[in-house]
Structure 1
């Protein structure tokens, strides 16, 4: 093999740990522990099974299943034979699954519930038929990945548009994890709770961060996160804001979070009072801005559990950011996806200079500190004034009786558009317009205060871990 070809490859971190530290725990599931040697054997065995059923390199294989050791083993087995894993939410109705499968031209669907998906227009294979956790040894596969090798197709959260099929290489995820681990240290024998789904980039990225460092991924059978953290001696967790709010409110939740080495929160705007409370209670909180197209984090704060900590999110390594003339955030770098899959074909999504236009507006200070203002495509112009709904939502979420908020544009005869708000209230609380206006007036000019406040719709569409703005 030529030196150039070697330099254009990445060796599988699971294989490296299996050879050097085979006895270390890799995956913990309930009372089961799979060490790196057993994990690596299971991957090789599964890879052979996949080839036996006709799966080849570059073949797109869909996975619809809850997080499990079998899911993780199948992922790495697919990558070892050069196939592409296509991650779909088990929460989607069959019609939506069928549309996604047709769009990406999926060849096979792997699942833990084969009967449930037999009506789909795709060959369905049960994970238990191809995965054996205590697998016999088979001749080791070449566990190296070309930098440009397609590895995953993930779907965007769909918070402002219909979900898009995002194709990443193995290198995208690899470099994303390397940059994250420079900011949030992970050590051998650390344990990161897989508290986010593997069909979302924030869940998938946990695997790479851990396996790069010889740490363990914990998949808990216990839905009580606080109990899971105690039971498995968890050191790291990733949450969206809503998860953190629930745990802070739970009995004993705060004392559990203080024990962690790192608490990474992202996915949507985080209420100011939640960050303030986390800092007061010395949680090892890291706040992140990221997107699916850049394989998770783009910029993240340092740990916020000391008074001198900065709330500014710092650019992580292997990412590039610049701000366009109109204020839009543009991104590039080694974590940038290859493009979107449309009708089975990969469509690049960068401009001619290689920059991806995020649709977010922001400010970059000193070339490394990124502040997010809001979405360009949700900005409304009211009487000539630019209004970002996210700014209003941010302050609405700081109101004592508001759990969540979405602000949208409503047509207005005089001003063109005016903001109106939909509110999810905390338990046993009532909507109080006077109190809301009084609260917002402390932080916002009058033209940014919504004209109307409505209760959250009973049925709000969601995809992944965020609500869909189009539902309001």
Structure 2
């Protein structure tokens, strides 16, 4: 396997070329490229002295901030694997990720002491725990390690091969159990290049990117491309989305690009500040992660102009499946250069095929499973050969989504092979929620389905059947979910029926549940 550039050198290159320029901004604080390089090098040296070696997993549970941003460069340079979590996860969920990843080190943010404790119990080999705030007994202070003196040789980026893993991008399937998609140094070098070519052409060191989504997922990949071109990243002051602050930052920093999900983009467009601030600097407002209603798409075009960019992709393909460029968006349905419901055409270097259940390629216009191949596709799932065999059947990566290609190569998604839905840009897996609901002593059966939501794109409705003689209401059930699943996974509505609709085989088809909800007038979410 050929040696490739350690992707951590992207930060080093930025520091060499623009040492005094701001690379990261949050609130009134800014950090230059040189300062970010020094801090990450100090941490690389400190972790090496404490036994963190190439291939070891370094978990971080933190909000967007300086440490979240620089921890990925630390892991990359070490030749280790960055394991970021969604900071909204519960302690139980984080403990599972710590155990499943085999994490050797963990960095945690203020207020997440319970998460760190749960991780240490679940993963006995978690020998190094770093606190972003005040450390407790048996822990170290992150900033204290950054302050340790080091020699340049101690921070030299590790030699890496093309297929060396650098990131566990947690995703999931129909089982609801998160799986670690292994992203590699060689793959991600292509992804960064592809993002710059297809999503944000022309980005350079005079540009600035606003970060409004968690760096643990798509926004983190987006940030890599900014570093590659020396464009600074600007973070919101807190983890809570604030439309007024976002628009103020766009004007103050002359923001040129941002990564959003449709629900966030709609909130930005609907905020009154969009009509009072100067956002003429915007060139690429990227949205991905879930479908966007046509009415919301039109409103974004009316307010922002021809700057919105859509892409379709999964964590396993790091977003690199399709792109719908600004020139392919239109306010006029009749003269649109792209089919109205399309998510665009194949990204550079990516091949898309629509396959039937036997792996046969289907012609234009016929629906089947969306499958892809190319250098943006991940290496595979960590410690999960069964999932890998299924995902890579017939020589393609199977997305689990259904759709069709037209004669020009435009892809339209028609549904999901799984029942997963996307709420506020985060994947939600019904079976995971159903299993928690079934732990309630009054619940006999549960079915969760995702339906359109005016704010979050999609949200869940949980349909429950209670045990004979048991009593419970929606408020009690929601209270039971507190601390057991993350808040973004909580159903927006709970209904109780005497029985669930079942097929002739005794199964509960989600399509049938949705049909019954509609018939009963219980399918609306506000």
After TM superposition, the structure 1 = structure 2 runs for residues 109-258 of structure 1, keeping only pairs within 5 Å, are 109-113=106-110, 115-116=113-114, 117-121=116-120, 122-123=126-127, 124-127=129-132, 129-131=141-143, 138-139=151-152, 141-142=156-157, 145-156=160-171, 161-183=176-198, 184-185=200-201, 186-200=203-217, 202-221=218-237, 223=242, 224-253=245-274, 256=277
* Residue 93 (structure 2) aligns with: 96
Deviations 1:408-427 (A, max 9, x none): 996367999684687xxxxx
Give the root-mean-square deviation of aligned CA atoms.
3.7
Q: How does 1:55-454 map to 2 (within 5 A)?
A: 55-113=52-110, 115-116=113-114, 117-121=116-120, 122-123=126-127, 124-127=129-132, 129-131=141-143, 138-139=151-152, 141-142=156-157, 145-156=160-171, 161-183=176-198, 184-185=200-201, 186-200=203-217, 202-221=218-237, 223=242, 224-253=245-274, 256=277, 259-281=281-303, 282-303=305-326, 310=338, 312=342, 313-326=344-357, 327-342=368-383, 350-351=391-392, 353-366=394-407, 368-378=409-419, 404=458, 411=501, 419=511, 450-454=518-522
Aligned equivalents of 2:195 and 2:19: distance in 1? 24
2 CA distance for matches of 1:404 and 1:315? 25
SS of residue matched to 1:243: helix
1:20 maps to what in 2?
Answer: 17
Provide the rounded CA distance (Å) in 2 between the counterparts of 1:348 and 1:233.
47
Unaligned runs of 5+ in 1: 380-391, 423-446, 459-472
Q: CA deviation at 1:378?
A: 4.2
Distance 1:272 1:407 in 2: 23
Q: Residues 45 and 252 from structure 1, CA distance in 2 versus in 1: closer, same or farther, beyond 3 angstroms? A: same
Query: How many Å apart are 1:115 and its aligned residue?
Result: 3.7
The 2-side partners of 1:182 and 1:278 are apart by 23
Superposed CA offset, 1:354-411 (max 9, x none): 31111111112357422211112349xxxxxxxxxxxx989x668xx99756689963
Distance 1:345 1:216, change over 3 A: farther
Q: Distance in 2 between matches of 1:236 and 1:323?
A: 32
- 8 Å CA contact 1:15–1:40 kept in 2: the answer is yes
CA distance in 1: counterparts of 2:330 and 2:32, whole angstroms:
36
Task: Choose 212-221 or 253-262, whichever is displaced more.
Answer: 253-262
Q: Note the C-alpha offset of 1:221.
A: 0.8
**Using a 3 Å threshold, how does the CA distance of structure 1 residues 11 and 219 change in structure 2: closer, same or farther?**
closer
Residue in 2 that maps onto 1:382: none
Structure 2 unaligned segments of length 5 or more: list them: 121-125, 134-140, 358-367, 421-448, 464-499
Q: Residue in 1 aligned with 2:478?
A: none
Aligned length: 415
Offset, 1:80: 0.9
Whole-Å separation in 1 of the counterparts to 2:350 and 2:107: 33
Relative distance call for 1:211 and 1:303 in structure 2 (3 A) is same
Following the alignment from structure 2 to structure 1, what is the Cα–Cα distance between the partners of residues 180 and 159? 25
Cα 1:156–1:264 change in 2 (3 A) is same
